[in-house]
Amino acid sequence: MDIREFKSRIANRDITRRQALRAMSAAGVGIVAQPVISSATLAESDPSQLISLTWSGYDVPELFPQWAEAHGLPQFSYFSSQDEAMQKIRAGYAADVWHPCTSNTRRFTDAGVVAPLDTSRLEHWDDLWPTLKTVQGVVVYDQVHLLPVDWGNTSICYRTDVFGEDFEESWTMILDPAYAGRISVPDSTDNLVGVALAIGVDPYNMTDDDLEKVKQAMMEQRKNVRFYWDSATEIVQAMAAGEIDLAVCWNEGVVNLTREGIPVKFANPKEGLVTWVCGLVHNPSGEADEELVYEFMNSWSSPEAGLFLINDYGYGHSNRKAFDLVPPERLAELGLSSPEEMLAHTKYAIEGPVGMRDKWNQVLEEVRLGM
């Protein structure tokens, strides 16, 4: 089970916390020892002191260890998409802290549900990867609005027994008719971004003519795609069965494929990786004391929280010092041995010009319908 499906199943109550922990244990997570949060501490928590709206699976105390030790668990509510989170907030749900991504921060700021942050109150701000602190969406209207905490990559995973170890890695792989019937791509904007990069278009700075070229390339791509995937587990199953040889995927896809014994590599395309960045924002309508809000954020951005996120979830963390706590062999297994280089040579998933995302969604729908 990939992490996004895992989070979705918890959100829909299709899996209990006990089952989730058992599944994580069976998957071999928890390799590095973590600080133990006592049950007594959690039992004494006051759930009304802070409300966190987040992705399911991000409610474990190891992701905010110091805060949990001091206060127990906050009250959690969950969302499966950022649009759903926006609807909850605008409907009056008084979350104090929530967990969006840089691809949406500006519109959330414009809606008045995200307040600027005082970086002098962010204890680990100076330890964050410098590149992450200036990404559009972290900074909105020349002010920091989002504390980056987790990040990951979108790229191509491919079977090395088919392509070889020294194969030239490029986004053009997902358009090449030579691999017709052996390719899988997501039914999402992740594919649109990859196609744009493949034809030499900056996905986050497209003209309408550029977008039309991307659409036409996606229409041609339809002829070669074996299937469009909705869950990353489909990639693992299809590659394991020999049904496909390459797919657009996320970091954890390669980890899961490797665990299944599939000879696979996570590409570093010559046109660049795509990196998503998510983090914590402060809802100005929340009722919790700001000291608690910043304390929660500081705990989430600590090296100890980063150790757990990297090791157990397979994602990158914003705190550079967290990577020093993870064994080098584990970082290599996760494809995170060179985070600074990865973050320096990538395309960040940002919001782009106003209205761009609506145009993207229209193109996706037209490609689905073959229009």
Per-domain boundaries in the chain: 3-151+276-338, 153-274+351-369
Mean pLDDT by 10 residues, the chain (371 residues): 42 37 42 36 51 92 96 91 86 91 91 95 98 95 97 92 84 95 92 96 93 97 94 88 93 81 90 93 92 97 97 92 96 87 87 84 91 76
**Degrees, nearest 5: CA angle 248-250-255:** 115
Which pLDDT value is given to residue 42?
Answer: 38
Which pLDDT value is given to residue 171?
Answer: 96
Which pLDDT value is given to residue 54?
Answer: 94
| DSSP H or E segment with residue 24 | helix 17-26
Which pLDDT value is given to residue 5?
Answer: 44
- Nearest Cα residue to 136 out of 149, 152, 148: 148
Q: Give the sign of the dihedral formed by CA 227, CA 231, CA 237, CA 242.
A: positive
Same-fold call for 3-151+276-338 versus 153-274+351-369: yes
CATH class, range 3-151+276-338 = alpha beta
CATH code for the part of the protein at 153-274+351-369: 3.40.190.10
Which pLDDT value is given to residue 103?
Answer: 87
Which pLDDT value is given to residue 166?
Answer: 72
Kindly report the number of other CB atoms within 10 A of residue 7's CB atom.
21
Kindly report the number of other CB atoms within 10 A of residue 114's CB atom.
23
Q: pTM of this prediction?
A: 0.76
For the record, the structure tokens of 148 come out as: 């980056």
Which pLDDT value is given to residue 302?
Answer: 98
